Amino acid sequence: MDFTAMVSAMAPDTYNKLAEAVATGRWADGTPLSAEQKEQTLQLVLAYQSKVLKSQDIFTVGPDGQIVHKSKAELKKQFSDPAAIARFSHDDL
DSSP string, 9-49: H--HHHHHHHHHHHHHSB-TTSPBPPHHHHHHHHHHHHHHI
Nearest to 51 by CA among 17, 13, 20, 6: 6
- Full residue range of the structural domain in which residue 75 is found: 3-92
Q: How far is C-alpha 15 from the geometric centre of its chain's CA atoms?
A: 11
- Residue with the bigger pLDDT between 82 and 72: it is 72
Residue 11 pLDDT greater than 70, yes or no = yes
Q: Angle at which helices 12-24 and 35-48 pack, to 10 degrees?
A: 130
- Residue with the bigger pLDDT between 9 and 75: it is 9
pLDDT of residue 84: 67
pTM to 2 decimal places: 0.66
Domain count, the chain: 1
Q: What does the CA dihedral 2, 59, 27, 40 come to, rounded to 10 degrees? A: 30
Q: What is the mean pLDDT of residues 19-33?
A: 95
